[in-house]
A and B are shown apart, each in its own frame.
Chain A
Amino acid sequence: MGMWKMSLLINSKHDPGNNRDLTRKMGMTKKYWTGMDELHHTDAFQKSLNNEMQQDQSVEDFLADGRLKETNTGRRDFLKFMGFSITAATLASCETPVVKSIPYVTRPDEITPGVANWYSSTYYDGHDYGNILVKTREGRPIYVKGNAANGWAGGALNSRINASVIELYDSARLRGPVASNQGTSWSSLDAAIKAELQSANNIRILSETIISPSTQRAINEFSAKYAGRVQHIQHDTYSYSGITKANLATHTKAVVPSYDFGKAKVIVAIGCDFLGTWLTSNIYSSQYGELRKPASGSMGKHYQFEAQMSLTGSNADERFPIKPSQEGKVAAALYAAVSGGSAIAIDGVDASAISRIAEELKANSGSALVVAGSNDPNVQMIVNGINSAVGSYGSTIDMGKPLNLFRGNDAAVQTLVEEMNAGTVDALIVYGCNPSYSWVDAAKFNSGLAKVKTSISFSLYADETANRCKYIAPNHHYLESWNDYTPIDGRTDLCQPAITPLYNTRYAQESLLSWADNPSSFYDYIRQTGNAGYDIAMMSTDMEWNMAVHNGTWAASAMIAETPPTATPPIPTVAQDLTAVASTPLMVADPMNLNDAIVKATSANGGEWELSLYQKVTLGAGHHANNPYLQETPDPITKVTWDNYITMSPADAEKLGLSIHIGQCDCANVAKVTVGGKEISLPVFPSPGQKSGTIGIALGYGRGEGGEKIGNACYQTGRKGDHLMNGDLKMTVGRNAYPLTSLSANTISYTALDVKVEATTEEYKLATTQMQATVMGRTSVVRETVISTYLAEKDKVRGTASYNKMATLAVHEDVNGDDEINNKDKRPVRDFDLWAEHPVENIGHRWGVTIDLSSCIGCGSCITACHTENNVPVVGKDEVLRHRDMHWMRIDRYFSSDFPTVDETSEQKKLGTIAAYRDMEDPEANPQTVHMPMFCQHCNHAPCETVCPVAATVHSNEGLNNMAYNRCIGTRYCANNCPYKVRRFNWFNYVGNDKFAMVNPAQDDMMRMVLNPDVTVRTRGVMEKCSMCQQRIQAAKTAYKVAGKMVADNPKLTACAEACPTHAITFGDLNDKKSQVRASHDDVRSYSVLEEVGTQPNVSYMTKVRNLKETIA
């Protein structure tokens, strides 16, 4: 069998009849691959194919350890020691352990020990926004989920929000106020600051975008106190000012409108990762998930133009790799095509594709949406023009209900930095942002900051900016705070504390108020905000307030009060632009303006290399660098953990002589990137789908370059768990790419069009999981079809559709009754069993899960939710490199590309294969992608169960594959025998081992409070895996039994299902005929992964449906 054949989806050897006809007809077949190694079948891949446990390296290292030879412990001594140890251990275990049990003195009424309480609250960090429910146990917040009942877009969250709970306990947080790097008391801090503010002539507040009416009030009150001297400037870590500027130009409103992707039948995204990081991406991904339900008959068509493969691009029906400099040209070409202008040719993009997309946009006028990620106002203006031409305004775009988020003003910050350097700013208050890290010219900001006499930060950590400030007045963590937020007009949400402040911190708002001589508590202040008006009369009564706290939101709307006018003319902020033009009616795009924009946007021409700076789905703009859950969650596309890197097309990398096979032992090569005189050296990751001649670097990394105390997870650790040092400073995880951004025409640009890339001789290990836990090259893992095929066969039953045939085996009896025994006589695999059947069908419960591959966008929310719920340890980069990540839930990302079918003759001759591929298009240039969540399949005929020598993994009569940790002796036979590779072995005592306390603060004393007491913390030498949230199943059963009721269908019971913003995961009781999971399990699209192995999983996958015309086998 040829090497390519091995991974063919439709494997003729296994399944000779089912798809052969189809394959012949198409002349093409699909090959799925997880990474470059699998595509090229490297030695490393072959090895990992057969080795479940990648431990060679550590044994070799152990033997190679020089100290081993220096020891003089003889064999006899060793035996003596061992004998003694065993005796001592045995004797020690005889002693009764004394466990303390401490009841409350006075128990709070709402707490029953052992029963969780949920509080609704709201997450906002200046970047991400989500309505949440916080789970607390005995007063400790331990888990965050979306507020499905009252949240915006059903409380859709992303992994950055649901993993944020661990940051509450970070021991690097400041324990109290700081003055000149010395701890101080609040009273002396207040006295000192007040004295300095009295004499300050120019006071500046630099904050994240303020969407809290009460916070804005506090700022206003502070400004009034120091009347005429205060200016408030808002700064977003990741700027969207290009959009606001464009909207000011075309619609006279400097706002980010609200988008509704759920209403769009055609989506065109130009360099825009709206599912992962763009604006309120969690809300958009929820809308997108609703859109892409094939059963509705229409899935929406999604086109993506982008340089490096983004999460959004990987979900697109059609993806066109372009250079960053071509974004404007694509927009202009589309605009020309929809508005009847003259066609614009784009190098590398088929002109017919543009006209095809334009036709489709026009045909779906009123339900189309074009978005661009560019921060260039000109590009955004053209996009506005397209949207205007295809009638998006009023349907998919709502200008009347703009986002209050992302109102940062790059120009204002730039002016501030100039002023600071000129020495005219006497006092600077930094709130919620970190410009010393993320400002486009941080060095200049820092030099200016040094000239500010009174600098104050409200940061929770002594971060890059706070460390350079004279005073730090640490704010509460959001889980310790009251707050009110108006993310969008017509929606006011409340943030409610779930725990008393852990440290001696104080609300930033209270700090501002106390400097304005208002001793009010912020809670009272919020209540007053309500009572004072904001056109919510209903806020006044306690009952209504309590209702709002309970729901986490007010039904009515609230407006944000504007900053009062000051004596010196202030820098026009975005908000003020809005007031100035609020009365003027909306205008449609001015063609004159647009022509100018088109000229500017299309004039850009890139150099040899073009760079785009993007945010990673896991780490965002860098707010969460200290979050080990997020650091260890693999990037959805590259599957790299714990690092940022240069993404480059594999062909380019090869040209530069850089390694394109990155693995456990295969290092990545480091390249030096020079942008406008600034250099950065990062490892190169060959990323399929990357446009040739472009590179991408993720922002948000390299936090704490000055050795700031912002959390252990920001820094790299070595083999012993100690932090790696670079001179006197700790080595950061990744490098900071913000210095590579630039200001052009007063907006921050996240692309660089002329970049130098040089290969270096340096090597660097990247911990990528894409080659881990391979399915051993087996077939039938991923199934996909196109919408027309799906709709044509919609009414068939599971296992009969052409794209989803049940696995069968030929038998020696005349099954089909044609009086002939041949290979047409087949029986389903299910009929061939070595084992007695587990009596689960229709008896008691049979828990199951279905995963809709059409809805799954691969964002990774399920991974972090599973981590927090199930106390899954974080192991650190060093261990991930050794394939020892502990993820119970992983998302396999398969690239696929079309290959010409090799006919039987050439196969027999073992010839022609190479010839057949020679003229094939480069498979890694623009592959299709499938994201496939993979976790324990809870097989009814589980291969792991039969090989366990101690019956530690056994089957339950509810269809679950149970794991009894205390019985496990760690032979790892089960992991070896698992065809899905979902079992994880505890190589270390992660919670007790100092080595891991450095990578995962959840393993130090403080952060251990985040652990879920309902789930055992596994110890060394024990196998673990997804339990289908057994603890939740048991709790639900108990609750219903007590109530005397049958367990109701709860499709979101498991943590992964709960966290999924697109509702791709459905949990339930398969024996409940009315359950959602039963319906989706029986759906025509459903199949079992590796059905031919006969494991009979209780987890089903629903075939991915692409909205494409062409049929793919």
Chain B
Amino acid sequence: MVSGAAIFDEGDPEKGKALFISNCSSCHKIDKDFQAPALAGVESRWKSTDAMLVKWINDPVAALATGDAYVKGIVDRYKPQYGMMTGQPVTEAEIKDILAYVRSGGSKDKVVTKECITLEDMNAAATEKNSGSTTAWWLVIGVILAIIAVSAANISRSLRNAISEREGKPLMSEDRTYWQATRAWMWKNVVLVSLISLFLFLYVSVVGYKALLNIGVYEQYTPSQPIAFSHAVHVCANEIDCQYCHSSASKSKHAGLPTAADCMNCHKAVQTGTETDSVEIQKIYDAIGFDKKKMAYNDSLAKGPIVWNKVHNLPDHVTFPHNVHVSIAGIDCKQCHGPVQMLTVGRQASIEEINAQTDVPGLIKLTKQTLTMGWCLECHNTATVNIEPGKTSNEYYLEMHDRMVNSDHGLEELRKILADEKATVRELGGWECGKCHY
């Protein structure tokens, strides 16, 4: 019955692996049904000729058209559930390699992903190194010293009273309170007290001012999220582009969050996570109503959208257009969002983290805290725009350049702008209120 031992006998599983991944893996898995039936055991199942198998793989429609009974059988059986297979442009030799790989049961060794260290790991390591907070120790020492000082003062008073009693001098009045005593002491050392007070006043003012400046600054804000989504796994290990998930960043003022359907593009296949097994991924299935066992959508299971907590909050009176920065300025996401690939759940990067990045070409290092207006303005004061012919081919900026060149007054302005041989965003109006506030 086995007519063509040849096609199932030969082949190089190593070559086959690469071919399988590029041609078959989007629908077939070896050990289980996926978008199409599992392939394991195909060599014993195939009840037609080798040539028909090659034809089937290359052009399923043509294979069906030959009227082959087995092919018709599998089409009848699987088409209602999976649809018609798409023909793959592979040679007979390649098919042999693929089948050899399928027979080998696929690669047993786990996919080696890139080594990705998260900021949490780094921070945890840092905390371990200098464990114990110095402030706490200072506090404890301070309290002990204060107790000693008060006790000493009491002892000193008792002793002095004892001496006075012996010498027949009037006692330091017993009913003099600590407050009166302190006041008396303060009057005696008025210069010292004044200096200390002045120092304290200045200290409190400076600390208070800094604290007030920090109102509304949420660097390192890391709200809890309904899904323990790891950017490290997606961005660093699997090298998924930011805009694959945040797809409206180039088109809209909002970067957008991926929809559950977007997640399903991969997670229909990737059902087990590297860190949380299937617990977190199951939440996506719950949201969209996906029955993992049947590999089918079932609306009655859908619980509705995933409610995330927003990480980067701007006040309502600010308009930040992502598309302007992504599509026109071509700014790297990391310029503002920092090393997101080193994060698990989203977090507002601090300016130090952003500046510490080494993998961002043309990173502009800024000093102000992130998501503050000062930070925006600082960048607008530094970032440059190509407005000169030769530097840009964007007709908008060329026209802007022309307008200035073609009027005397404008030429003056252009010289001012280009005095430092560059045109900053600020010089082109990037510091104006109406650009962002309306």
Contacts and interface: CB of A to CB of B under 8 A. Distances in A.
Interface of A: 90, 93-94, 96-107, 112-115, 839, 841-844, 952, 954, 956-958, 960, 962-967, 1014-1017, 1027, 1030-1031, 1034, 1038, 1040-1042, 1044-1047, 1071
A282 to B, nearest CB: 30
B316 A114 contact: no
B358 to A, nearest CB: 30
B215 A1027 contact: no
B308 A105 contact: no
A1046 B396 contact: yes
A843 B395 contact: no
Report whether over half of chain B's contact residues are helix, strand or loop; otherwise say mixed.
loop
A966 B434 contact: no
A839 B411 CA distance: 11
Nearest to A1029: B438
Contact of A113 (B252, B321, B394, B432): B252
14 contacts: A98-B309, A99-B310, A100-B307, A101-B308, A104-B260, A105-B259, A105-B305, A106-B288, A112-B256, A114-B256, A954-B433, A962-B432, A1027-B434, A1046-B395
A115 B319 CA distance: 14
A105 B433 CA distance: 36
Contacts of B259: 103-107
A114 B403 contact: no
**4 A-B pairs with least C-beta separation:** A962-B434, A114-B252, A842-B407, A103-B257
A1070 to B, nearest CB: 11
Interface string B188-224: 0000000000000000000000000001101001010
B370 to A, nearest CB: 14
Interface string B300-324: 0010111111100101110101011
Given A99-B310, A1040-B396, A1034 B403 contact: no
A841 B403 CA distance: 10
Given A114-B253, A842-B404, A957-B429, A1038 B438 contact: no
B248 interface: yes
A105 B435 CA distance: 33
B393 A1044 contact: yes
B413 A1038 contact: no
Contact of B403 (A93, A1015, A1044, A1071): A1071
B400 interface: yes
B395 to A, nearest CB: 5
Interface size range on B against A:
35 or more
A104 B328 contact: no
Contacts of B273: none
Nearest to B289: A105
A101 B316 contact: no
Contact of B438 (A100, A1016, A1071): A1016
Given A966-B315, A1038-B323, A1038-B328, A844 B287 contact: no
A101 B257 contact: yes
Given A113-B252, A962-B434, 20 more contacts: A97-B313, A100-B310, A103-B256, A103-B306, A104-B305, A106-B259, A106-B288, A107-B262, A839-B413, A841-B407, A843-B407, A844-B429, A954-B433, A956-B435, A1015-B438, A1030-B434, A1030-B438, A1034-B435, A1041-B394, A1045-B396
A105 B260 contact: yes
A925 to B, nearest CB: 46
B288 A958 contact: no
B261 interface: yes
Given A842-B403, A1038-B324, A1044 B394 contact: yes
A100 B260 contact: no
Contact of A843 (B251, B306, B307, B413): B413
Interface of B: 215-216, 218, 221, 223, 248, 251-254, 256-262, 287-288, 302, 304-310, 313, 315-317, 319, 321, 323-324, 327-328, 393-397, 399-400, 403-404, 406-407, 409-410, 413, 428-429, 432-435, 437-438
Contacts of B305: 102-105
B307 A102 contact: yes
A1096 to B, nearest CB: 15
A115 B223 CA distance: 27
Task: Identify which of B218, B328, B434 gathers the most chain A CB atoms within 10 Å of its CB.
Answer: B434
A782 to B, nearest CB: 30
A843 B396 contact: no
A1031 B319 CA distance: 9
**A interface: dominant SS:** loop
Nearest to B257: A103
B305 to A, nearest CB: 5
Contacts of B309: 98-101
A960 B324 CA distance: 21
B310 A957 contact: no
A113 to B, nearest CB: 5
B236 to A, nearest CB: 22
A999 to B, nearest CB: 23
A919 B239 CA distance: 91
Contacts of A1014: 319
B252 A956 contact: no
A695 to B, nearest CB: 46
A97 B429 CA distance: 31
A1034 B394 CA distance: 17
Contact of B432 (A115, A957, A966): A957
Nearest to A105: B260
Contacts of B409: 839, 841-843
Contacts of B434: 956, 958, 960, 962-964, 1027, 1030
A105 B302 contact: yes
B433 A106 contact: no
Contacts of B413: 839, 843
A98 B288 CA distance: 25
Given A101-B308, A102-B307, A843-B407, A115 B396 contact: no
B288 A105 contact: yes
Given A114-B248, A1016-B438, A1040-B396, A964 B433 contact: yes
A966 B317 contact: yes
Interface centre among B317, B409, B429, B433 (most CB of A within 10 A): B433
Given A106-B259, A1030-B438, A101 B393 contact: no
Nearest to A962: B434
Contacts of A1046: 395-396, 399
A935 to B, nearest CB: 15
Contact of A103 (B252, B308, B428): B308
A100 B308 contact: yes
A1042 B325 CA distance: 10
A1044 B395 contact: yes
Contact of B428 (A106, A107, A844, A1038): A844
Contact of B313 (A99, A105, A839): A99
Contacts of A94: 215
A1045 B259 CA distance: 33
Nearest to B399: A1046
Nearest to A1040: B396
Contacts of A99: 309-310, 313
B437 A962 contact: yes
Contacts of B306: 102-103
B172 to A, nearest CB: 38
B252 A115 contact: yes
A5 B93 CA distance: 103
Contact of B258 (A103, A958, A1040): A103
A1038 B329 CA distance: 11
A100 B308 CA distance: 6
Contacts of A966: 315, 317, 437
Contacts of A106: 259-261, 288
B78 to A, nearest CB: 26
Given A957-B432, A1038-B328, A1040-B396, A113 B248 contact: yes
A839 B432 CA distance: 14
A103 B245 CA distance: 11
A459 B252 CA distance: 39
Nearest to B438: A1030
